[in-house]
Structure 1
């Protein structure tokens, strides 16, 4: 077997270099080694692919190359032993089908009013002239939306406890320098709540127990009237026609809430940064929003072409998910001219694909127009991964992103506090804005000569 080229650097040192400057490291990585790069982890070759033709081979060849749940075992601590990331084959297909009911059609549309009203309520609490950090503010919105959509909860003691636990766990993913030093000293030993890993285990135990209690209570109620993922799972049947266990229902709730709160919140924070950093982008976006008039219904917002282009460019230049989930070569196969043996791991490098000069001229420049001028294939633009492991809530994430941005931009005058470029900070799959995007509120926005009411049609 001849492997693609790659660095001979020890894997632990690669990890440190990547964490210090994730995008810069990957830029150098691709420039030196090309479209396919091999890293050795012990005796296992892991090949990162940033060529669209190679990515297509990986996603479409499901015979020799498989998306095994075992490759995602590292996430089981936070997403459950029976979460969707850990499942394979018919079981995985069955659970995905159940979960996807929540994120499509009338349910998604009906959630639009809630998203806009919640955004208006939370952003409206910011004091004029007082700086605030955009990321945790947006995360507050997206987590509440996620818990509402997935569990049907938007208030009450259980809602507040669940939201607090998710927020606390997500904060641990973006570690401070002190946390990293402690983790280096103690490793992943459970030394109680005083150690980073021990505190994370404590929070996860509390969250798992709280979610299980909610599942058990809702199953006792047996109420079909709820239109949420939890209800779908409680009344669903597995691939053999049997109901899912309470523990499995609980585990299946975790990943969708993490994605709804964390990934969506990060993308929207980056969007606020780029929109307010580039006056021409903000001006064109506001003109498009104003063209809708007073009645900004969710589906009209969702269909706006320039808003769609802005969201896509945000997800291209700083994708929240840097890599697709790994695949395993099970039978000898050829990818991009390389003959690969069983046991080789293949990973689509989303960030480096989005930085290709042949696809995206001047890739470091934020240019939404590129998405108006060309339609990219799912192997050229893949912010939500692809194949059988593509994000279940991709459509909903874009829907939510557009509504939250439209609500904020239409209603409020915001400004970035600093003119310095926002830097990425890597933490557990996602690249966050390092400073959180510091902004200041200047008050309610005037457009077309007067203050306009913000009306959202219901469904």
Structure 2
């Protein structure tokens, strides 16, 4: 077997360089070695691919290449052993189908107005003229939406506790202190003061609350509810049996994490670019204002320039930098290389989105590129692809458009700093390093009524 080229750097040094400057490191690797690169982690070759034809090969070849759930075991600590990421075969196919039905058109349309109302309610808490960090504010909105869509919870003590535990779980391991401790002690449980110990503590608390909600809801047997939890409680598995409480609990976790983390990050990045680039904001406001006051959410979702802005935000700093890994199970040729069983294949989403042949001036934020060209799912893949494509990708884009439209239409915001926002990598997600510091100057009236802005302290 002749592997694709790649650095001979030890895996610990690769990890350190990636931690310090992930995007600079990936850019340098792509420039030197091309769009198929091998990194060795011990004796296991991991081949990263940023060529659309190569990505198509690994997503569509299910005979020699498998998207094994065991490759995602690192996520099982917080998503459960029976979460959709850890499942395989017919079981995985069945559970994906059960989860996907919660995101069908009629249900999404019904929750669209609520997303707009919740966004306005949360944004109205900001004090006029007082700077705030956008990311936690947006994350609060997306987590609340996620918990309501997934579990049907929108208020009460249990709802608030679950939301808070998800926030804590998303934060653990991201601080410099946590990273230093992990480098020194590894993934060892040394009590709640250690990242792993604290993560296990959060897991116990979160799983206990989710299990209590599942048991309570099963005892109620309310067929009138239309959330993902209700769907799962009354669903049957591939053998015709109802799912256990533990299975239902584990299946709830990934969609909520994705709703809060990936969606919140993407919306925050979009807010940054929109307010950094005057022409983008002006064109987007004109498009939004063309719908009149209080437009129907489905009209908002159909706006072409808003869609282009969202896609460009997901392209330039995709929330998911890599697709979930695949395993070569029998000898296969990929992009002219003969790869042996045991080789890991990963689609490099970030580097694919940075290809100059696909996206000229790739470092520039240019929504117009999505109005001028239709990209294939192997050229633009912010939610991964193949059998492991994010089940909530369509809903995430739906939510992103409505939250952005509500904020832009109703509030006059400005970035506090003129300095470029730095990206920061954590887990699978690409966060804005400072969280995007903004200030609200006023409430914005619809432009058809007035060309002025109204200062309010609502």
TM-score range, shorter chain: over 0.9
Q: Secondary structure at the match of 2:219?
A: helix
Which residue in the other structure is 2:117 paired with?
117
Cα distance in structure 1, aligned partners of 2:38 and 2:213: 45
Q: Secondary structure at the match of 1:442?
A: strand
Q: Does 1:426 align with 2:454?
A: no
Cα distance in structure 1, aligned partners of 2:294 and 2:272: 26
Cα distance in structure 2, aligned partners of 1:396 and 1:405: 14
Cα distance in structure 2, aligned partners of 1:189 and 1:358: 45
Cα distance in structure 2, aligned partners of 1:300 and 1:410: 14
Shift of 1:104: 1.5
Q: Secondary structure at the match of 1:40?
A: strand
CA RMSD between the two structures: 1.2
Matches within 5 A, 1:59-208: 59-173=59-173, 175-208=174-207
**Cα contact 1:104–1:395 (8 A) shared by 2:** no
Which residue in the other structure is 1:360 paired with?
359
Which residue in the other structure is 2:292 paired with?
293
Cα distance in structure 1, aligned partners of 2:294 and 2:429: 35
Shift of 1:187: 2.3
Aligned residues: 452
Cα distance in structure 1, aligned partners of 2:295 and 2:133: 27
In the alignment, structure 1 segments of 5+ residues that lack a partner are 453-459
Cα distance in structure 2, aligned partners of 1:284 and 1:428: 34
**Cα contact 1:83–1:254 (8 A) shared by 2:** yes
Shift of 1:188: 1.8
Which residue in the other structure is 1:398 paired with?
397
In the alignment, structure 2 segments of 5+ residues that lack a partner are 453-458
Which residue in the other structure is 1:455 paired with?
none
Which residue in the other structure is 1:29 paired with?
29
TM-score (normalised: structure 1): 0.97
Cα distance in structure 2, aligned partners of 1:98 and 1:179: 37
Cα distance in structure 1, aligned partners of 2:176 and 2:77: 23
- Structure 1 stretches of 4+ moved >3 Å: none
Q: Does 1:414 align with 2:452?
A: no
**Cα contact 2:328–2:341 (8 A) shared by 1:** yes
Q: Secondary structure at the match of 2:237?
A: coil
**Cα contact 2:292–2:448 (8 A) shared by 1:** no
Q: CA-to-partner distance for each residue in 1:154-196, whole Å, 9 max, x for gaps?
A: 00011001001001111114x2212222222332221211222
**Cα contact 1:135–1:437 (8 A) shared by 2:** yes
Shift of 1:205: 0.7
TM-score (normalised: structure 2): 0.97
Q: Secondary structure at the match of 1:193?
A: coil
**Cα contact 2:84–2:95 (8 A) shared by 1:** yes
Shift of 1:451: 8.1
Cα distance in structure 2, aligned partners of 1:416 and 1:448: 25
Which residue in the other structure is 2:383 paired with?
384
Cα distance in structure 2, aligned partners of 1:52 and 1:316: 14
Cα distance in structure 1, aligned partners of 2:167 and 2:175: 15
